Structure 1
Amino acid sequence: MNDHPEPRTLRVFVALAPPDDAKDELARALRPACAGYPGLRWNRIEDWHITLAFLGELPFTAVPPLRAALAGTAASHPALALRLKGGGHFDERLLWSGIDGDLEGLHALAADVRDQVRSCGIAFRERVLRPHLTLARSRRDDSTSVPEAAAGLADFAGRTWQTERLHLVGSNIGRGPGPIRYRDIEAWRFGAAVATRRDGAAPRP
């Protein structure tokens, strides 16, 4: 019997989540691809997110300091005006939708999030931020479906929406068999909303 069990851990990341109506727009645009490429491993719509920092496997004891740090980060940043646009892929294996709008603000938010994570003493792999929303992954023997599905999204342009909350997310909390599932550990409202024009676009600075 092990008298000193390893601490419980979970995979953690910090993300933004598009609102339901923006996701519904993209889901409608994806219907031909979902029907045409059933062999892809499609992410559930409720799991769609825009990752700002992937922190990897953390012990549960690392979460409380993150809560305090990220709450302050959200309060100090305004909401961002973003939209889902187009599609692409990484290495013909991962299908994504692109992000358009206040990308400068998005990069500034991501940089602040990563600074706050480091201030909590959490080391993580630094990856260049390439804003996207992951939709599906191919299986090992399929190298054509993802590029073809990405081409089908080339003309997609969703409506502009505002980020509401900064999300601290854990995957497969309470581990078990089956596909990866995500849930919010906690989420915090941003400090201020962004005014939008009647056509839904963000105003020019």
Structure 2
Amino acid sequence: MDDHPDSRTLRVFVALAPPDDAKDELARALRPAYAGYPRLRWNRIEDWHITLAFLGEQSSTAVPLLRSALAAAAPSRPALQLGLRGGGYFDQRLLWTGVDGDLEGLHRLAADVRDLARSCGIDFRERPLNPHLTLARSRRDDSVSVPLAAAGLTGFVGRPWRTERLHLVGSNIGRGPGPIHYRDIEAWRLGVAAAPA
């Protein structure tokens, strides 16, 4: 059964995903928050990602063009050394952990991905890149849990990790009251790691 009411469109974004051991490390650091703020809508660990380009609702004909372009480009883009660090929030409702490491390379990769999407005729709203990994969202009547949970992450510093793949992801965001779920449409191995500066 199709997740989408209009099978001619798909909501998509391009992202990086931390490796399992980095996600496990962060999940351990979040244990007090999981226990302390059970009303937060926590993202599933398998859905954790760092968005490079949110492309929104796209036609089913645009997605194959983008897949081809990303498949051709990924091997020539260097893998990056990144890490997860600290915590913060947007609008007192969205909890995130920050991204550390080769941020210059991350911004370059995001710009490349956005240029590729435009070259495929994909129209999307440009958003400034603010590298983060979304962890949870609060309910409308709860303006305190997210800031408190973010304060508990202030000292978190995750181990560095190397990006392996570029992911094209589809989501069911806005498809009803349930949790947001993501699924990989496809992922491609990035090229060799950039030489240390």
Give the TM-score, by structure 2 length.
0.92
Alignment correspondent of 2:181 = 181
Shift of 1:105: 0.1
Query: What SS is found at the alignment partner of 1:99?
Result: strand
Shift of 1:179: 2.3
* Contact 1:162/1:194, CA 8 A, preserved across alignment: no
Query: What SS is found at the alignment partner of 1:115?
Result: helix
Alignment correspondent of 2:106 = 106
Alignment correspondent of 1:119 = 119
Alignment correspondent of 1:10 = 10
Cα distance in 2 for residues equivalent to 1:172 and 1:26? 25
122-131 or 68-77, which moves further after superposition? 68-77
Shift of 1:17: 0.2
Cα distance in 1 for residues equivalent to 2:164 and 2:102? 14
Alignment correspondent of 1:61 = 61
Shift of 1:193: 2.9
Query: What SS is found at the alignment partner of 1:88?
Result: strand
Alignment correspondent of 1:82 = 82
Cα distance in 2 for residues equivalent to 1:62 and 1:48? 25
Structure 1: which amino acid aligns with 2:189?
Answer: R
Shift of 1:60: 1.6
* Shift in CA distance, 139/178, structure 1 to aligned 2, threshold 3 Å: closer
* Aligned length in residues: 192
* Contact 1:33/1:149, CA 8 A, preserved across alignment: yes
* Contact 1:169/1:185, CA 8 A, preserved across alignment: yes
Alignment correspondent of 1:152 = 152
* Contact 1:83/1:159, CA 8 A, preserved across alignment: yes
* Shift in CA distance, 191/142, structure 1 to aligned 2, threshold 3 Å: same
Cα distance in 1 for residues equivalent to 2:159 and 2:98? 13
Instruction: In structure 2, list runs of 5 or more residues that go unmatched.
Output: none
Shift of 1:194: 4.9
Aligned-pair identity in percent equals 80
Shift of 1:69: 0.9
* Contact 2:43/2:136, CA 8 A, preserved across alignment: yes
Shift of 1:9: 1.5
Structure 1: which amino acid aligns with 2:52?
Answer: L
Instruction: In structure 1, list runs of 5 or more residues that go unmatched.
Output: 196-202
Runs of at least 4 residues of structure 1 off by over 4 A?
A: none
Structure 1: which amino acid aligns with 2:110?
Answer: A
Query: What SS is found at the alignment partner of 2:13?
Result: strand
Give the TM-score, by structure 1 length.
0.89
* Contact 2:165/2:189, CA 8 A, preserved across alignment: yes
